[in-house]
Amino acid sequence: MTGLLAERLHQASDNAIAMWSAVARSRGDVVHEHASFTAVDGRRFRIMVRHPGVDVEELTALARARRADGRTVVVEDPFQVLDLAALGMKAAQLPVMVREPAPAPGPTETELVRTAADLRKAEDIIVNGFELEEYQPYEPGVTFPPALLESADLFLRRDHAGACLTMTHGGVGGVYWVTTLPEHRSKGVGREIMHAVLRHFQDLPVTLTASRAGRPLYEKLGFVTLGDSDWWR
């Protein structure tokens, strides 16, 4: 990996940690900062690796202890330096992608969320479109409390067909939970949402972790793959 791509991978990791930390604090969850990883204690216990030199022994001990407590543990390792199989965990690989600054597509029907009513609509779309199990049944204001808008942005298509969340941190724009409701899929909604996001971040590199299904769309929009992130569960 070249120096620039390695830098982008670190920036993507830092952005994701900033996003999860902001979401956690808006919910009143606890964020534990360690030298080489960050842990978020919410409905799931999420551990995020900060750099390849992570303290594997400390992280593994923490994951083992939380699993022994009966907690659902998720570990995000974009550098693929962990092996948590001995804990009974399995890793799924998700591509981490980046798009360098470039002209953005024209106007769409997607806008920034600015009102409490639109925040609830965006939250509803993401919780149900992504089927976030730990937040079912959906309760307004629990997944994305209003305080989150002080540190992150949400985008909502005017017809309430799709939404996403973005975070500016570490010199890049991060994109999360790009979601379209089932009845609106395969109609270009996700593309329109991304067009709005790319205009929003026109002067910044943009990073995201893609699903396998979403990867072709992002490639068409100019994203390239930095590598796979291991998500241990």
The pLDDT of residue 1 is: 63
Half-sphere exposure of 20 (CA within 13 A, CB side): 26
Q: Would you say residue 30 lies in a domain?
A: yes
**Which residue in the block uniquely carries the two structure tokens 């204690």?**
41
- 171 in the same domain as 198: yes
**End residue of a domain, out of 29, 64, 94:** 94
Listed residue (51, 19, 8) closest to 223, CA to CA: 8
Domains held by the chain: number: 2
Peptide bond into 95 cis (omega under 30): no
Domain span at residue 199?
99-226
Q: Would you say residue 216 lies in a domain?
A: yes
**End residue of a domain, out of 68, 94, 120:** 94
How far apart are the C-alpha atoms of 229 and 95, rounded to whole Å? 6
- 195 in the same domain as 123: yes
**End residue of a domain, out of 34, 69, 94:** 94
Lowest mean pLDDT among 52-56, 171-175, 179-183: 179-183
Q: Would you say residue 233 lies in a domain?
A: no
Q: Would you say residue 212 lies in a domain?
A: yes
- pLDDT tens column, 68-118: 999 999 999 999 999 999 999 999 999 999 999 999 888 889 999 999 999
- 108 in the same domain as 39: no
- 80 in the same domain as 125: no
- 72 in the same domain as 125: no
- 67 in the same domain as 121: no
Q: Would you say residue 232 lies in a domain?
A: no
- 127 in the same domain as 17: no
- 78 in the same domain as 123: no
How far apart are the C-alpha atoms of 194 and 224, rounded to whole Å? 15
Listed residue (28, 213, 197) closest to 105, CA to CA: 197
Neighbours of 209 (CB within 10 A): 21
Which spans in 56-210 are helix H? 56-68, 116-129, 189-200
- 58 in the same domain as 75: yes
- 103 in the same domain as 88: no
- 112 in the same domain as 162: yes
Averaged pLDDT, 45-66: 98
- pLDDT tens column, 151-172: 999 999 989 999 999 999 999 9
Q: Would you say residue 129 lies in a domain?
A: yes
Averaged pLDDT, 186-204: 94
Q: What is the CATH number of the domain that holds 186?
A: 3.40.630.30
- pLDDT tens column, 3-37: 999 999 999 999 999 999 999 999 999 999 999 99
How far apart are the C-alpha atoms of 144 and 31, rounded to whole Å? 16
- 36 in the same domain as 127: no
For the chain, the distance separating the N- and C-terminal CA atoms, rounded to the nearest angstrom, is: 27
The pLDDT of residue 108 is: 84
